[in-house]
Structure 1
Amino acid sequence: MVVYQHAAMPSIEYETPGALSPSAGPLPPLRQPASRTDRVRDALRQAILDGALPPGRALVERELAELYGVSKTPVREALKQLQSTGLVEINAYQGVSVRRPDDKLVRELYTARCAAEPDAVRLAAELHGAAAYPGARRALDEAAALIGSGETQGLGIANRRFHRELYTACDNSFLCGFLDQLQDLTAFVAGLGWRLRATFEEEAAEHTAILEAMEHGDAERAEQLTLAHIRKARRTLSDALGDDK
């Protein structure tokens, strides 16, 4: 077994040269989407959202190409795609690095969510009335299981899936497309906030209240609870990031 390791990167193990181990280290192994670029992007995205690649970590094309057994071209394209989601910053002088969230980013991100997501949730409740949202319920149960086990690494993804199950029910492609663009960055910022100040149990209770309002077809309450939830998360994150300075 060969172990590739560099001081600037977490290690990852391969069973044989060029073959990825399913039990690799902090960076997840590559899966099998459509292309090498997709594979590198998905692996790096997961590492960033899980905190294996922390804010400010340099992302060097040559090192990543060696790490994942690909040329620099798919790495370069993957980094461009991650830049478009807000997870990566590309600077002409300092190179590529994982984004460093600050209060301005949190304020702008959560203001955008406040402007769109509560309306989408209200529209969904008005459209469907009293109805079940099994996808949201499953995401809520998964989040509760992760919290109960103490394995909260995947919690951000479960929470984002919960929110998406509700707002996509509004059946408005423009609202959904806009909110989808914010998904990765929201998961990234929220995950960083939890590592500084754990609030996921409070958020789980808020999610439960929102889902119950949706299941009862109470559009006004679902909208109000969603808005309050996002505003509270924004304040908590701003405070946590401020404490970390």
Structure 2
Amino acid sequence: MKNTMAEDKIVADKTIATKVIEKLREDIINNRFETGSRITIKEISERYGVSPMPVREAFRTLEGEHLLEINPYKGATVLRIDEQFVRDVYGVLRALECLLYETALDEIDQGVIQKLRCINEQIRAIVDLPYGAAEYVDLNTKFHSTIMEHSKNQKALEMYTHYHEIISTIRKKYIPVPERIRTGIEQHEKLIEALEKKDVLLVKMAVDEHIKSALENFMTQFSQGK
């Protein structure tokens, strides 16, 4: 366990439980706990400087994410994050994106279309810059959020946000390459055109292409980074 005590303390800018969930998820994904190791509520509450209650909630949440396996009276076992785990999460995100974009379609007007094109041009402008990769992550999130915020299905949006947080935490260790960013820009253009035409089938096809491309690119980095 490599963290310093200062790094482990929770800053209370969100609810304590949410911060503990995010911190423990990040520590598991970043291998600060060995796969197969056992952790206890007492150990984590002391490590993070919080009471047992938010840790207990974090254990339940991360069990649902298949990052922990809870053993009654024995704490929890840290599970392995492998390629299948990543593919499963991307599969969930793909299904939710299709649903969210479909339910947002009626609310997408020319103002939204122009905003999406503007964001995509911002991405194009930073591809080859030294800070381009970091800027791309923020702009890409902004691009997709601009569409999803018009969805009428709030439950699906909550689920998407949850699973996107998991994959975003994993992706922090990997830098998007310029080739992938350029591909993403072109795929965004196809998605914008499909949204402008309000063609559900074209939207789903564009989402499929974008997600599959992002997944395969990421899996290459993930397998090499083990």
Q: Per the shorter chain, which TM-score range?
A: 0.5 to 0.7
Matched, 1:10 2:3: yes
Would you say the 8 A contact 2:97–2:160 is kept in 1?
yes
Name the amino acid aligned to 1:230. Answer: I
Matches of 1:90 and 1:146, distance apart in 2: 41
Inter-CA distance 174–96: structure 2 relative to 1 (3 Å threshold): same
Q: Is the deviation greater in 113-122 or in 205-214?
A: 205-214
Q: CA deviation at 1:177?
A: 4.2
Partner in structure 2 of residue 5 of structure 1: none
Give the paired residue count.
Answer: 220
1:90 partner SS = strand
Matches of 1:125 and 1:164, distance apart in 2: 14
Partner in structure 1 of residue 20 of structure 2: 40
Identical counterparts, % of pairs: 16
Inter-CA distance 62–119: structure 2 relative to 1 (3 Å threshold): closer
1:170 partner SS = coil
The runs of 5 or more residues in structure 1 that have no matched partner are 1-7, 14-24
2:81 partner SS = coil
Would you say the 8 A contact 2:119–2:139 is kept in 1?
no
Once the two structures are superposed, residues 17-41 of structure 1 have per-residue CA deviations (whole angstroms, 9 ceiling, x without a partner) of xxxxxxxx4x57412334x333422
Inter-CA distance 229–126: structure 2 relative to 1 (3 Å threshold): same
1:131 partner SS = helix
Inter-CA distance 128–152: structure 2 relative to 1 (3 Å threshold): closer
Partner in structure 2 of residue 163 of structure 1: 144
1:118 partner SS = helix
Partner in structure 2 of residue 100 of structure 1: 80
Inter-CA distance 157–69: structure 2 relative to 1 (3 Å threshold): farther
- Match of residue 109, structure 1, among 89, 112, 117: 89
Inter-CA distance 91–136: structure 2 relative to 1 (3 Å threshold): farther
Inter-CA distance 78–237: structure 2 relative to 1 (3 Å threshold): same
Question: Which protein is richer in helix relative to its size?
Answer: 2
Partner in structure 2 of residue 88 of structure 1: 67
Would you say the 8 A contact 2:100–2:151 is kept in 1?
yes
Matches of 2:169 and 2:126, distance apart in 1: 20
Q: CA deviation at 1:123?
A: 3.8
Partner in structure 2 of residue 237 of structure 1: 218
Matches of 2:80 and 2:117, distance apart in 1: 30
Once the two structures are superposed, residues 123-145 of structure 1 have per-residue CA deviations (whole angstroms, 9 ceiling, x without a partner) of 42343232327699779969x87
Would you say the 8 A contact 2:67–2:81 is kept in 1?
no
1:125 partner SS = helix
Inter-CA distance 77–149: structure 2 relative to 1 (3 Å threshold): farther
2:217 partner SS = helix
Matches of 1:171 and 1:160, distance apart in 2: 19
Q: CA deviation at 1:158?
A: 6.4
Inter-CA distance 137–37: structure 2 relative to 1 (3 Å threshold): farther
The runs of 5 or more residues in structure 2 that have no matched partner are none
Would you say the 8 A contact 2:120–2:188 is kept in 1?
no
Q: CA deviation at 1:117?
A: 1.6
Matched, 1:187 2:168: yes
Once the two structures are superposed, residues 188-221 of structure 1 have per-residue CA deviations (whole angstroms, 9 ceiling, x without a partner) of 34445x26x7476346525743674377455455
Name the amino acid aligned to 2:35. Answer: G
